[in-house]
Copies of this chain bind each other. A is one copy, B any other.
Amino acid sequence: MPESALRIALIGCGTVGTGVARILYEQAESLQRRCGRSLRLSRVVVRDTNKSREYLPDGIPVSSSIDDVLNDDSIDLAVQLIGGTSDARDYSVRLLESGRDLVTANKALICAHGEELFQVAEAAGRTICFEAAVAGGIPIINAITTALPGNQVEAIEGILNGTSNFILTQMLTENQSYDQALKLAQELGYAEADPTLDVDGTDAAQKLAILMRLAFATDVSIDQMILHGIDTLMLSDLEAADKLGYRIKLLATARLNNGQLEASVQPTLVQSHRALAQTNGADNIITLTGSALGPLRLSGAGAGQMPTASAVMADIVDYTAGRAERTFQAILRNRTAQPLDVLPQEASEHRFYIRCIVDDRPHVLADVTDILGRHQISISSLHQDEPVDDASGDPTARLVMMTHRADEGRMRLADAELGQLDCVRGDCLRLPVAE
């Protein structure tokens, strides 16, 4: 005899929620075959109950209060698709404590309150699924939790923010300034009205923290990461890197370095032929390097209605099939592993790209290179184009230098001294070069 339908409450029914409702409607037969029981959308909670919504079953109760879910004993699973961390945290705790399992796509929630929610779920014997919280439709949580158990994960490297990747792609391919590309991203819906969290690297750092917790059983806060956004990049930087054989990508990296963990999110020069460099527009890519497997690359749509809904559905089916509970138990058990030490930021080593805008007058090059030399930073190449006049008519030159390997600590000392030089206009830009 078939089991009765799984009853789902949808909390938040915006873009992704509507995508989930659409898949539940359009793929009902195939989903039932895969799950061994039917999936029924039984209740929807939204802020504005007057707005008309597509794909919802006829007569389904739509209310604006989470209490309607908490008081409905027939609900098995809460699919929570609201943003922010305040209501989302509060609802999650109450849902778990009331005996509901939880699917969420909220990376800020899992990053900031994941450990607390895991404890609540553990105490209540519930399950949390969050595939859609990282890299949209790409099954990266699935890969990291189920595909690599025979491996020590050695590195996670990737493009985790589609908005900034869209902007960088747009700048280089369409010769646009950062501001022009950002404006287009906003018009096309790739960037929010306030794009801060996307372009300053926070969004990617939150996702990286979630992946690191799963891969290394270590909580690394965003404050512990080297974190830089794309908002200081100029089109001329992307073009200079291109000439040198690199693309600049907002790269999220976590790496085991002699038993210590280093983590960063920063615009990074990546050799142009690499799959990472060729990942354009709003796509995401992640490379997981395992001790047995070597590098495993996954790439695809990192955001968007249907790709994200696809990830949410994977969680719903995983849950219904009884797999999610077992995966979550393994995640809970894995937290008992010895956490790794985090490498001090200053010890992180890379080759670097340095760009300075300087006055076009004698001894400038000597002043700049003297500072680098005194900090034992060795220059591997240097390019200076013909000077151009600044707004006041004074000639300025653009210096682009590539260094040999140097550590972040020395570079920061040099950065500070370069900033003190009279001949240097504004801040120099410094970007690492991917291995």
Interface residues of A (CB under 8 A from B): 19, 23, 27, 30-31, 33-36, 137-139, 142-143, 146-152, 273, 275, 278, 290-301, 306-307, 309-314, 316-318, 321-323, 326-327, 329-330, 333-334, 336-337
Contact = CB atoms under 8 A, between A and B. Distances in A.
20 contacts: A27-B149, A31-B149, A35-B149, A36-B333, A137-B292, A138-B296, A142-B142, A150-B313, A150-B317, A151-B310, A290-B310, A294-B300, A295-B300, A296-B298, A296-B299, A297-B297, A297-B299, A321-B329, A322-B326, A323-B323
B152 A314 contact: no
Nearest to A298: B298
Contacts of A336: 33
Nearest to A300: B296
A30 B323 CA distance: 20
A327 B337 CA distance: 28
A292 B23 contact: yes
B150 A36 contact: no
Contact of A146 (B294, B300, B323): B323
A371 to B, nearest CB: 39
B299 A275 contact: yes
A150 B312 CA distance: 9
A273 B247 CA distance: 14
Contacts of A327: 321, 323
A33 B337 contact: yes
Most chain B CB within 10 A, of A27, A139, A147, A151, is at A147
A245 to B, nearest CB: 15
B306 A292 contact: yes
A314 B34 contact: no
A330 B310 CA distance: 18
Nearest to A29: B337
Interface centre among A292, A312, A333 (most CB of B within 10 A): A292
Contact of A309 (B275, B292, B311, B337): B292
A150 B310 contact: yes
Contacts of A27: 149-152
Nearest to A274: B278
Contacts of A321: 326-327, 329-330
A337 to B, nearest CB: 6
B146 A296 contact: no
A294 B290 contact: no
A-B pairs, top 10 by smallest CB distance, nearest first, are A150-B313, A139-B147, A149-B317, A292-B310, A296-B300, A292-B306, A293-B310, A23-B150, A137-B293, A323-B323
Given A34-B333, A295-B300, 12 more contacts: A23-B292, A33-B333, A34-B334, A137-B294, A137-B296, A139-B146, A146-B323, A147-B314, A150-B313, A273-B278, A292-B306, A292-B313
